[in-house]
Structure formats: C-alpha cells, structure tokens
Structure 1
Amino acid sequence: MLDQTDGLHGATLPDHRFHRLLGESAWKALPPPVRRRFGKRLKGGSSVVYQGIVVAMRRNIAGYIFSHLARLVGAPLPYDMTSVHQPAVVTVTEDCAGDGQFWIRQYGREAGFPQVIHSSKRFAGPTGIEEYIGSGIGMALRVGVEDDGLSFRSDHYFLQFGSWRLRLPGWCSPGALTITHRDLGGTRFLFSLTLESRFFGELVHQDALFHDMEVQP
C-alpha cells in the first residue's frame, strides 16, 4: 500500500482483492501509485499510516442534525467544522481473523479530543466489499475507477446481528455515500467523502489531503 517498497521490512504481501473487484482493464487504468497502495496486503499485526490535513468541509442544516445523531452509533461522519486545517491521520490494519481491513480515521479539532472514526472493510457480500461501522450497521459498496483514482459508492445499507441480516430499503437509508481516492502525484492523494440525500441534497462533504508514510510493525 506504499510507494517506499524497500522500507517495508517484509510487512506486506501481494494483494489482488481490489484488482479482482475492478477487473483487469480498469485496474490497469489506475495510476501506478494507486495500484501500489491498493495492491499490497498487510501482514497480520502490521499497520499503514497516512498523515495529512483536512482542507475543506461543508454541510447543510440536515447534515448537521444527521451527523450529530450518528454519534449515537459511533460517529461515522465528520461533524465538527473546526476540523478544517487540522491534522488528519488514517491507520489501516489487516484483519487477522477475517478477509478484510480495520480503518481508524482521526480528525483534529480546534479544542478537545480529536474525532475518531472506526470501521471495518470486508471483502464479502453481493458487491464483493462491505463496510461496517458498528452497532450492527453496514453498507455494501461498489468500487470504480475515477479520474486519477478510485471511488467507493454505497450500493445499499443493511443491519446485521450474527447470522440475521436485513437489507434496508432505499427510502430509509441516510443517503448516497461516495468516497474517492484521487492521486495527486508522488506520495500525495486526496480523500473526499460526500453524503447526499434525495430529500435534503448534499448533507456532508469533506476533503482531506494525505501522503504516504511507512508501515508500522
């Protein structure tokens, strides 16, 4: 998942999971740095760290209400406008027990502790990849190639408790979520998150600029 392959000390393995999801032609259309980031699998116990800064954020009134309500289930959406121009750190760790990855996103604020978002990506389900945010809430994703990078778009949301699973109808979903990873050359990339509702328009949008760092054993 990094460009600096000589300094990984055996912490990564070849990873074909995103390659298989996209298909050969779409995978080859990606910039080489993106293929390197998403084409290496971390060995169990290792983490990759991306450090950066939040460069933009906006939300409407409905987004303000919804992002704060979502704090009841782990605060999966950025909710503090003071995070703009504050440090951002993303840590990715391979899930040793399953076929997936644990993601921790940390966004600084002007005052108080940073916001910390936990989620788990698993290569499973009808679309081949899902994201869990906790409290039994998950989202099936569709991965695609965009200009200079990748996009992750919500296909549907679901509730899951053990083996019981319920797909939520579109009318009761929070909206269409899109996450993009856009390569900016060298070791830099832009992470963007947008949540849009058919009833209330764009609820939340955030841009954060990151750069590659070393894998942490």
Structure 2
Amino acid sequence: MFEQIIDPYVDVSKNAQPPVMPVAAADFRDHVAGGWNAVHPAIRLRMDRLLTSQTSTVFEGQGCVHRNWFGWLFAQAARLLGAPLVWRQGNNVKTTVTVAPTPSGNRCWHRLFDFEDGFQQLVQTSKVVDPKLGFLDAVGTDGEKMLATQMTVWAQGDSLFFESSEYWLRLGRFKLKVPPLLTPGKLHAEHRDEGNGWFRYVLKFTHPLWGQTFYQDGRFRMVD
C-alpha cells in the first residue's frame, strides 16, 4: 500500500518552457572543491546529464535502509517539514530515483523507497544554489520547503563526496541556523562509480550525542 507523504511526482519536463541551461548546473560545478575536472569521468558524465537535461532521468537500485531510535523520532517530527527522512528499515529495499528539472531551473531528486512488505515512501529534495549560503540540499520538489542543508562537495578517487556543514530553516527572507543537537546529525554521502554503468550510493547521518541516526547503502544504474 502506497502512503503518500508529500505532493506526488509531476513530470515537469512536459511544461511548455523554452529549453535553457540551468544556472544551478554551472554553479554546482563551481562548488566542487578541487575543481570539476577532479571528478571521476564516469561520475562527471552522469552528473552533467542530471544537471543539464530537460527531461527526467531514472535510476533503479536496491540496498539497505536503517535508522536508530532517535532517527525514527526525528523522521516523524520532520514530516511537518516535508518528510525528508525515511523512518522504515529494510535490508533489500528497492529504490527508484527520478531526477527531473524544476520550473525554476533547479533539479529535484524524487526517491521512491519500496519496502518488502509493500510500504512505499517518497522523499523529494532539490539541489539549490543560494547566493548567500551556497550549495543547498533543500526539501521539496523545487526546494520550496523550510528545511535546507548547506553542503560541501569534493572528489577523491572514484567517488564524489557530499557533507553537510549547517542546517537552515528558511522563513521568507529570514534564515535561521538550526543548532546541531536539533538536527539528525552531520550528513555524509558518497557516490562511487563501480563501472559498467553502476554506481554505489552510501548515505549516513551522525549525531553528536545519538550516534549514527540513519544509514543507507545501495547500488544503482540508469534505466534505458
């Protein structure tokens, strides 16, 4: 049974808008420490497509999804902010990731988690470049929700790494920094190329008091 957590996915590529090169694409590349050319060629090619394509790109994969008790509590509370965290657990969770352009030129990652018992949860976050805060992973189909995570990005070997530096609540023109103890913890993600079109994505949150609150590890490849 599908439980709709937030607004259903709409393929915005069907909107009648002239194709333009999104500003966020170039800005994202500028935020990679060490330069875009330091990124593994296969990841660079994959990300170039995701950041510039005017149509949706779909990836399918499978892996584990875990959280501790504090992660469960935080995921429940975060439902008020757009449900960006998965509160269920499983070792063989099928995941479909659809990356689509948004009306404002950002990119939204629509992640559908399909658990073995039939439960599904949709998580939607957008990559946004804020003129003051820099690169953000913001909740919502166009980053429109209040909660956003300020990110640093760097490349090393076969991997592209993402790590949170601050969490922010955006209230109109005002931005409030969230104290570390009131967050799910520091986010650390690794996108590692494994060849033949496959990549591994590992995501974890580590809280200063409650340890590893969330952990996800899966292998994906693009759907032709």
TM-score by length of 2: 0.78
Distance 1:161 1:178 in 2: 26
In structure 1, what residue type is equivalent to 2:102?
D
Runs of 4 or more, structure 1, over 6 Å off, are 11-14
Partner residue in 1 for 2:48? 39
Q: SS of the residue aligned with 1:123?
A: strand
1:140 pairs with 2:122: no
**Unaligned segments of structure 1, at least 5 residues:** 1-10
Cα–Cα, structure 1 residues 43 and 29, in superposed 2: closer, same or farther, change >3 Å? closer
Contact 1:188–1:211 (Cα < 8 Å) also in 2: yes
1:96 pairs with 2:106: no
Partner residue in 1 for 2:117? 111
Partner residue in 1 for 2:130? 124
Distance 1:60 1:43 in 2: 37
Partner residue in 2 for 1:7? none
The range that moved more, 88-97 or 117-126, is 117-126
The range that moved more, 68-77 or 141-150, is 68-77
**Unaligned segments of structure 2, at least 5 residues:** 1-18
In the alignment, which of 203, 207, 213 is matched to residue 197 of structure 1? Answer: 207
Percent identical residues: 29
Q: SS of the residue aligned with 1:78?
A: coil
| 1:13 to partner: Cα distance | 6.5
Contact 1:125–1:140 (Cα < 8 Å) also in 2: no
Partner residue in 1 for 2:6? none
Cα–Cα, structure 1 residues 109 and 77, in superposed 2: closer, same or farther, change >3 Å? same
Q: SS of the residue aligned with 1:33?
A: helix
Partner residue in 1 for 2:8? none
Cα–Cα, structure 1 residues 36 and 187, in superposed 2: closer, same or farther, change >3 Å? same
1:52 pairs with 2:61: yes
In structure 2, what residue type is equivalent to 1:51?
E
The range that moved more, 110-119 or 201-210, is 110-119
| 1:111 to partner: Cα distance | 2.5
Q: SS of the residue aligned with 1:34?
A: helix
Alignment deviations for residues 25-61 of structure 1 (CA, whole Å, 9 cap, x no partner): 54333221101011233344x111111112x233322
Cα–Cα, structure 1 residues 200 and 125, in superposed 2: closer, same or farther, change >3 Å? farther
| 1:110 to partner: Cα distance | 2.1
Distance 2:160 2:173 in 1: 31
Alignment deviations for residues 66-98 of structure 1 (CA, whole Å, 9 cap, x no partner): 23333333321222113x313211011112324
Distance 1:12 1:191 in 2: 29
C-alpha RMSD of the superposition: 2.4
Map residues 157-196 of structure 1 onto 2, 5 A cutoff.
157-196=167-206
In structure 1, what residue type is equivalent to 2:122?
V
| 1:174 to partner: Cα distance | 2.8
In the alignment, which of 36, 45, 48 is matched to residue 27 of structure 1? Answer: 36
